[in-house]
Amino acid sequence: MQNPAPIDLADWPRRQHFEHYRHVVPCTYAITVEIDVSEFVGAVRASDRRAYVAQIWAIASVVNRHDEFRITLGETGDPAVWRVVHPAFTVFHPEWETFSCLWVPYDLDFAAFHDAATATIAEYAGSTEFFPQGAPPGNTFDVSSVPWTSFTGFTLNVEGGADHVAPIFTLGRYTVREGRTLLPLAVQVHHAVADGFHTARLIEELRDLFADGTWLRG
């Protein structure tokens, strides 16, 4: 794991926003949207790919496009940017009604990521540990799934959240409306590192990626 690159605060246009939402008014926010995944669902069903793994890859791909979603805090609290971040994701164990948190290195090649993720899930399918691989590395962000229900709002209440600047994604159960398949997606963001503009751009890029199912054939 490479060290993150420090941000030069003297030249960072976001310095005042970062300091305000980090120290003066510590603030996180969450937004829940519905993503049209009709084309995605059709492409998954026509392939041998796992939908959850594909969703994780799509999210990781968009997150890695933008510095603001790869920011971390150094030991002194100063911001720095990881070159690449990796998804840490939950896997449910129905026999115990618990879950494990796994992580897989992000790979721009979807097929390679899919193979690595499915192998990791299979390896730890019988584990009752929360982190069976050990603590995730510092350059991870969280993805979880609540496939048992759809939702129109979802917020995590993170105590000490002023220090958690990585985005958190939560997926819900598909709903079908007027012939289109919709996926609930909640995104939790620290306002110190990203504003509504940045989160909206991330969501729109994710919409575009789900609308293009060609990458699932990779």
Catalytic residue among 86, 114, 190, 191: 191
Sign of the dihedral through C-alpha 161, 167, 170, 174: positive
- Rg for the chain (alpha carbons), in Å? 17
Indicate if 191 belongs to the active site.
yes
Closest by Cα among 27, 77, 80, 60 to 188:
27
Query: From its phi and psi, is residue 134 left (phi > 0), alpha (psi between -120 and 50) or beta?
Result: left
Q: Could you give the C-alpha distances from 173 to 37, 122, 141, in angstroms and in order? A: 12, 22, 21
Residues marked as catalytic: 191
